[in-house]
Chains A and B, each alone.
Chain A
Amino acid sequence: MNYQLKPSAVRLALLGSAMSIAALAMPAVNAQEIRVWSGYPEMAPFYEHVAEGMKADFPNLSVKVEAIALREHEKRLALGLTSGEAAEVIELGTSTATRYLENELFNEAPAEIAAFVQDPTNFNDFFRDSASYGGTVYGLPLFRGQSALYYNTEMFTAAGLTEPPATMADYTKYAEALTQRDANGVPTVSGWSMRLSGGGQGIAEKFWINMFQYGESLVEQNADGKWKADFANENGRAALKQYLENVHTLKTVTIEMPADAEAFEREQTAMFIRESWVIGDIAAKAPDLKYATTTLPRGSIVAPVSLWISGEGAEAEAAWAFAQAANEPDNLLWLLDNVGWLPNRAGLDYSAILAAKPALAAFVEYPDTYEFFSLPNIGPVEEILTRTAARLTEAFANAALATDDAGIDAVLVATQDEINGLLQREGLLAE
């Protein structure tokens, strides 16, 4: 018996060592490459940082990061995923990812990744669900877009304002006080920069954020999972009227004024609502700017972004390893510190970063009553936002509407009907 076993034991040992040699030799022979597609150019350094950190464990893995503007990123996904041309690691917000999940274009997470995502000490239910479809985990939650108010403290002091605005009524009052004008009364520095133009859905998203402060949403889900737009009421009117008043009646901002982060960095606007990445952008482009942030009156949008994997075999495995590495606490803190996007993972210790960058507080330390909303995870979400944006742009340009409540209501009803029409077309409309 014994001697019979022996050769096989030897064979086994031989095989084992052969395999381990092969395992050692394999990577050296097969240099692996995975690609990461991102829709945020400022995220590129983060992914490169993650790849750098993986060098020790994956000496032969090269990671190619391709980060382009969000709209183009979404287009290349629509085209690339169906043809198998897409990258292995794909960064995508949940609302857009749904379409791909419905068509089974992303890989299901391996068991240990699923367990990691489902562990409540790692992610709360909201982020777990943001990376799941039908109860199954498909992605790894990474970061989120969440908004707060940025304001220029020097301009506040100059205008005699000591506290940040607390209600939406304050926003208009503050905007008036903060606007700087030339001799003819034409604003040269806007009091409150609002998203009034541009191509596409950003306008509608920003409008939604404002309307949310009044307690209203662009579309809402009912108990049986269907959706409906129902904002043609006084809350919706208040939100739209605030835009019109600021643009046409009070002239605290004009449509052609420089806007958004760029204007804020150049001190061409006193305050604006934006996500946390601006902190990193300011640090890079206008390090001397004196500014602070504060939470919004009622709550904020939260747009969860996850990493999804496509492809098969060794590449897919390396891609999962990459996504997992991106979620290492060290890397996430690096992300917050250097890029400014908020990590989704629970239980991170932000204290050191917060001490150095107090502006981040408005994003991670909010009142218990603070509410959140996110874009619906439904197919026609882009179309809803684009069409709403077109209606809003038209309304913003109409000076007569500013004092015409009935006119505002008509715009809201038309917008709402259009959204409900889209929902109905896709069989998603709630009764």
Chain B
Amino acid sequence: MSANPSSNPGGKRRRIRKMLVDRGIDVVLLVFSLLMLLPLVFLVSNGFKTPQEMLAWPPTIIPANPTIDNFAAVLQGTPLLRWIFNSIAFAVLSTLAILATSSIAGYILAKFRYRSLNVIFALVLATAIVPFEVYMIPLYFQAQSLGILNSLWGLLLGYLVMSFGIFLIRQNVIHSIPDELLEAARIDGAGELWIFFRIVLPLLRGALGALGVLAFFQAWTAFAWPMIVATNREAYTIEVGLALFQTGFTVDLGRLSAASALVLIPSISLFVILRRNFVQGVASTGLKE
């Protein structure tokens, strides 16, 4: 998006101009990036504020007398670590389930062309557009009849499969695994299972990584489902625990911020570690059409 007409002969002027434009764009992006991060910075900083400073006007960005009382209080007064553990366990198991179901189903749908399977594929895709909220309540009663409310399994029930995951893997298999490769293996006498585990899965590593990250964060940020399945304080995920964070009748914003700030640690660090996978995963969702 450079604004330099190419007819300009003065090379030096052109370079200076380009540099100015670049810096200008950098400034815009930098300001915007900082604005996007600002709410999170506020959150962390509020966690370090004393109750008096929380009520101060004008509000401060950097706490004047930073204190870790809020952090100590939430770690003692609430099962915060338990909630974080629940969330992580839920997200990891959900990820594993989605990876398993998506990889096998995606592979079959890509490489075994039967009309019956195509019908199945259409059905799977069709459920993808139905928002979870639409069928959440009947699903709840299924969890209830299984007696798995307030448990990890109850949470998982809503997050065992992912239509998009199947679609993603199917596209990947079609594009990256040639039929010849599979045929050659079959001629060599390889069994179907062997082919899947030894040939297909290794070739899908990248796609599965991306899908895994997507699935993980989908479960990590789930709200409405855990909110109805987990009614027992010990069974809350971190999102629910924070939303219902109440000590008596009045809410202590400092402690709430401290708890929230603690929760940012796992999600941000995970994101930074898996950024590449993540960007790929999200980017692949855009290839849907």
Given the known A-B contacts A76-B231, A79-B231, are A281 and B248 also in contact in the complex, defined by CB atoms under 8 Å? yes
State in angstroms the CA–CA spacing of A27 and B146 once bound together: 31
Interface string of A89-105 (1 = CB under 8 A from B): 00000000000000000
Give the shortest distance, in Å, between A261 (CB) and chain B (any CB): 6
Q: On chain B, which size bracket covers the interface?
A: 10 to 19
State in angstroms the CA–CA spacing of A69 and B145 once bound together: 26
Within residues 226 to 272 of chain B, which ones have a CB less than 8 A from any CB in chain A? 228, 231-233, 244, 246-250
Interface string of B115-145 (1 = CB under 8 A from A): 0000000000000000000000000100011
State in angstroms the CA–CA spacing of A380 and B140 once bound together: 23
B149 located at the interface, meaning its Cβ lies under 8 Å from any Cβ of chain A in the complex: yes
Give the shortest distance, in Å, between A204 (CB) and chain B (any CB): 19
Whether A266 lies near B55 (C-beta < 8 A) is yes
Give the chain B neighbours of A277 by CB distance below 8 A: 249
State in angstroms the CA–CA spacing of A72 and B229 once bound together: 12
Partner of A79, one of B140, B246, B248: B140
State in angstroms the CA–CA spacing of A80 and B247 once bound together: 23
Please name the residue on chain A nearest to B143 by beta carbon: A83
Give the shortest distance, in Å, between A143 (CB) and chain B (any CB): 15
Given the known A-B contacts A79-B231, A82-B144, A266-B55, are A68 and B244 also in contact in the complex, defined by CB atoms under 8 Å? yes
State in angstroms the CA–CA spacing of A66 and B228 once bound together: 16
Given the known A-B contacts A72-B231, A75-B231, A76-B231, are A83 and B149 also in contact in the complex, defined by CB atoms under 8 Å? yes
Interface string of B84-110 (1 = CB under 8 A from A): 000000000000000000000000000
Partner of B248, one of A42, A75, A76, A83: A42
Whether B147 lies near A281 (C-beta < 8 A) is no
Interface string of B208-235 (1 = CB under 8 A from A): 0000000000000000000010011100
Please name the residue on chain A nearest to B150 by beta carbon: A85
Please name the residue on chain B nearest to A65 by beta carbon: B233
Please name the residue on chain B nearest to A277 by beta carbon: B249
Whether A68 lies near B250 (C-beta < 8 A) is no
Give the chain A neighbours of B149 by CB distance below 8 A: 79-80, 83, 85
Within residues 327 to 348 of chain A, which ones have a CB less than 8 A from any CB in chain B? none
State in angstroms the CA–CA spacing of A68 and B246 once bound together: 8
**Residue in B144, B149, B249, B250 whose Cβ sees the most chain A Cβ within 10 Å:** B249
Partner of A261, one of B231, B244, B249: B249
Interface string of B59-83 (1 = CB under 8 A from A): 0000000000000000000000000
Please name the residue on chain A nearest to B232 by beta carbon: A66
Whether A83 lies near B249 (C-beta < 8 A) is no
Give the shortest distance, in Å, between B58 (CB) and chain A (any CB): 15
Interface string of B22-56 (1 = CB under 8 A from A): 00000000000000000000000000000000010
Give the shortest distance, in Å, between B124 (CB) and chain A (any CB): 30
Whether A69 lies near B233 (C-beta < 8 A) is no
A49 located at the interface, meaning its Cβ lies under 8 Å from any Cβ of chain B in the complex: no
State in angstroms the CA–CA spacing of A262 and B150 once bound together: 32
Q: On chain A, which size bracket covers the interface?
A: 20 to 34
Give the shortest distance, in Å, between A75 (CB) and chain B (any CB): 7
A285 located at the interface, meaning its Cβ lies under 8 Å from any Cβ of chain B in the complex: yes
Whether A262 lies near B250 (C-beta < 8 A) is yes
Given the known A-B contacts A261-B249, A277-B249, are A66 and B233 also in contact in the complex, defined by CB atoms under 8 Å? yes
Whether A41 lies near B248 (C-beta < 8 A) is yes
Within residues 38 to 91 of chain A, which ones have a CB less than 8 A from any CB in chain B? 41-42, 66, 68-69, 72, 75-76, 79-80, 82-85
State in angstroms the CA–CA spacing of A366 and B239 once bound together: 45
Give the chain B neighbours of A75 by CB distance below 8 A: 228, 231
Give the shortest distance, in Å, between A80 (CB) and chain B (any CB): 6
State in angstroms the CA–CA spacing of A116 and B228 once bound together: 37
Please name the residue on chain B nearest to A265 by beta carbon: B250
State in angstroms the CA–CA spacing of A41 and B77 once bound together: 13
Give the chain A neighbours of B233 by CB distance below 8 A: 66, 68
**Residue in A79, A281, A284, A285 whose Cβ sees the most chain B Cβ within 10 Å:** A79
State in angstroms the CA–CA spacing of A84 and B145 once bound together: 10
State in angstroms the CA–CA spacing of A265 and B250 once bound together: 10
Please name the residue on chain B nearest to A275 by beta carbon: B249
Whether A281 lies near B250 (C-beta < 8 A) is yes
Whether A41 lies near B246 (C-beta < 8 A) is yes
Give the shortest distance, in Å, between B226 (CB) and chain A (any CB): 13
Please name the residue on chain A nearest to B247 by beta carbon: A41
State in angstroms the CA–CA spacing of A79 and B55 once bound together: 39
State in angstroms the CA–CA spacing of A42 and B232 once bound together: 17
State in angstroms the CA–CA spacing of A74 and B185 once bound together: 60
Please name the residue on chain B nearest to A73 by beta carbon: B231
Whether A83 lies near B250 (C-beta < 8 A) is no
Within residues 261 to 286 of chain A, which ones have a CB less than 8 A from any CB in chain B? 261-262, 265-266, 277, 281, 284-285
What is B's interface to A at a CB cutoff of 8 Å? Answer: 55, 140, 144-145, 147, 149-150, 228, 231-233, 244, 246-250
A41-B248, A68-B233, A80-B231 known, 5 other contacts, Cβ within 8 Å: A41-B246, A41-B249, A72-B244, A265-B250, A281-B248
Q: Can you name 19 A-B pairs with beta carbons within 8 Å?
A: A41-B246, A41-B247, A41-B248, A42-B249, A66-B233, A72-B244, A75-B228, A75-B231, A79-B140, A79-B231, A80-B231, A83-B144, A83-B147, A85-B144, A85-B150, A85-B231, A261-B249, A284-B248, A285-B250
